[in-house]
Structures are given as C-alpha cells and as structure tokens.
Copies of this chain bind each other. A is one copy, B any other.
C-alpha cells in the first residue's frame, strides 16, 4: 500500500489541520509507525534522531487525532488530516512548524506562539 522500501524504510508524512488546511509539520514514518497510526487513530512517526517510534504528544500531551489518511500518486508520501490537540504541533510552541517565512535574505517569524515551550517540556 505504501512503498517503504524506495526511501530505505521511511516515507515523509505531512500533517495538516483537517479544518483549516494549515500544514502543521512534516515527519517520517516507517511501516510500524504507519500501522500504529492506523490502528490507534493517533499520529505516530519515526524519529530519525532518536531512532525509535515517536508517539506525537507523548510528552507534551499534544496528540494528533487522525481524521483521514491520504497517499500520493507514487505511494511514497503520506498526508494525515488531523485534529491537533492543544492547538500547536511545533515543539517551539507554534501551531505549525512552518512559522517562518522567507523575506529577502531573512527568515521572518510570521505566527504567534500558542504555548511557552519551557512550561510544556520542563514541568
């Protein structure tokens, strides 16, 4: 159903707000993460830096409830439509990880923080 072999076991997975269409983040999935996402209805990714399953929200409580799973034409990218609990997907406290826009030679922050990362991750 998904071609996990093409990219060495991992495929990109995009999470999008199912209501507003805002792109929240991009992460990676292996077969196990994909299967657990389908089974539980909550987004599970594979963390390349920690080299293990990443149950989104396991630390912050900001889980993503999956409303729909879409697959692209080449079957090597996944798009999740989600309900982002807590209102923010980004560990830096923004709704979307794409909170910076290129303006000339600068990256400009174009969103407001939903939460203070220190308060969420260092409790």
Instruction: Report the count of interface residues on A (CB-CB < 8 A).
Output: 34
Q: Which residue of chain B is the closest to A98 with respect to CB atoms?
A: B70
Among A21, A68, A98, A105, max chain B CB count under 10 A is at: A98
A52 contacts partner chain B, Cβ-Cβ < 8 Å = no
Judging by beta carbons under 8 Å apart, are A73 and B101 in contact?
Answer: no
Q: A73-B90, A91-B73, A107-B1 are in contact. Are A101 and B68 (CB under 8 A)?
A: yes
A71 contacts partner chain B, Cβ-Cβ < 8 Å = yes
- Footprint of B on A, CB under 8 Å? 1, 12, 14, 16, 20-23, 25-26, 38, 68-75, 77, 79, 90-92, 94, 97-102, 105, 107, 110
